[in-house]
Amino acid sequence: MATSVQHDLEELRTRALADLADAVDAPAGEIWEKTYLGPKGELTLFLRGLGALPADERPTAGRAGNALKRELEAAWDSRHRILAAADLDQHLAADAVDVTLPGRPPTIGAAHPVSQMIDELSEIFALLGFQTVFGPEVETAHYNFDLLNIPADHPARDVWDTIHVDLPGEIVMRTHTSPMQARVMEQTEPPVRVVVPGRVYRYEAQDASHEWMFHQLEGLAVDRTITMADLKGVLAELARQLFGPNRRIRFRCDFFPFVEPGVDFAVDCAICGGKGCRVCKQTGWLEMGGAGMVHPKVLAGVGYDPAVYTGFAFGLGIERMTMMRTGVDDVRAFAGNDLRFLRQFAGFA
């Protein structure tokens, strides 16, 4: 190999590597690549010009040229990575935003808190073996009262201020979800385990704690061995699922014509742990609903033998549960449907 060729290659190498080191950004890199390794680049032209050399010099010059090509390509490759990374960094820097700006809001609404509570209760009770069923909102007095041991012309009926529907017979807006007790039992053989959520209606003046339309959830279990201790266990489980693992249930003697014994049940206040605070009005307890053992007359009324079967029933106020859990202090908010209220339930449950 002629020394001049060798010299030329050495000179090209030195210059190329020096230029590459001088290429400080991606565009400069691109130019370098074009200058040396591109189709019309110096090295490419050199290699293409090998044919013009004398035959005996060609192999040596070719080996040297290809070796230099590999070297420059490798140098370009590593240099290119660095330049590309730097370029990207620069790009990203220019693309920075104020990450504390609010997100672009998707158009998402919210389910009503009452629906959310009903679905949650339905799920809790499904896990306890209770099926969710629904009943009519317009009901006969037969189911709303008579079969529940609330006879006509008995003062017990006054407990439910009733809205009557202008239809033949005594047709009412159901005053509670309890009529479904009788409807379910009439249609099923024991064992029975159901919960019945839904709207109920009372002829009642509205204030912060009274609504003429609200929601209840009725529970009913009937079998050969159902006891009041089972009732307490199920309600305690409910209270713990809704209000936290350490909650306790308290029974207080109360009167509902369709249960005997009858109680109302309360959960110890989660805010103060039962010591008494503003939320529980210093009592340490929050009333959840009414419950008891299904009255023998109710069982007999649907053809169940009260000597064989026992059952428990309970009723919860859906709005009340939500109020207890979220601190809403005016029941009218639920049918008020103010978006400023509803929006706050986007993340509830």
Q: Which of 86, 110, 272, 302 binds another protein (CB under 8 A)?
A: 110
Catalytic residue selected from 32, 76, 160, 285: 160
- Rule CB under 8 A: say whether 260 interacts with another protein: yes
C-alpha pair distances (Å), 239 with each of 125, 136, 155, 199, 347: 12, 28, 32, 22, 21
- Per rule CB under 8 A, is residue 332 in the interface with another protein? no
User: Around Cβ 126, how many Cβ atoms within 10 Å?
Assistant: 12
Contacts 24+ apart (CB under 8 A), 84-87: 84/26, 86/25, 86/26, 87/25, 87/26
263 in active site: no
Nearer to another protein, 39 or 169 (CB): 169
Q: Per CB under 8 A, does 261 bind another protein?
A: yes
* Distance of alpha carbon 321 from alpha carbon 317, whole angstroms: 6
Among residues 221, 242, 321, 323, the one that binds another protein under rule CB under 8 A: 221
Task: Single out the catalytic residue among 26, 32, 200, 216.
Answer: 216
Written as one letter, the residue type at 336 is G
Alpha carbons 211 and 175: distance in angstroms, whole number: 12
Give DSSP secondary structure letters for 321-341. HHHHHH----THHHHH--HHH
- 182, 200, 259, 266: the active-site residue: 259
Q: Which of 42, 254, 272, 276 binds another protein (CB under 8 A)?
A: 254
154 binds another protein, rule: CB under 8 A: yes
Please list every residue from 161 through 200 that binds another protein, using CB under 8 A: 163-169, 171, 173, 188, 191-193, 199
Regarding 59 and contact with another protein (CB under 8 A), the answer is: no
Q: Is residue 303 part of the contact set for another protein (CB under 8 A)?
A: no
For residues 113 to 152, the per-residue mask of contacts with another protein, x marking binding by CB under 8 A and - elsewhere, is -xx---x--x---x-xxxxxxx-xxxxx------------
Strand order, beta sheet including 285-294: 131-132, 192-201, 213-223, 310-317, 285-294, 259-268, 249-253
Question: Which residues are designated catalytic?
Answer: 160, 176, 202, 216, 259, 313
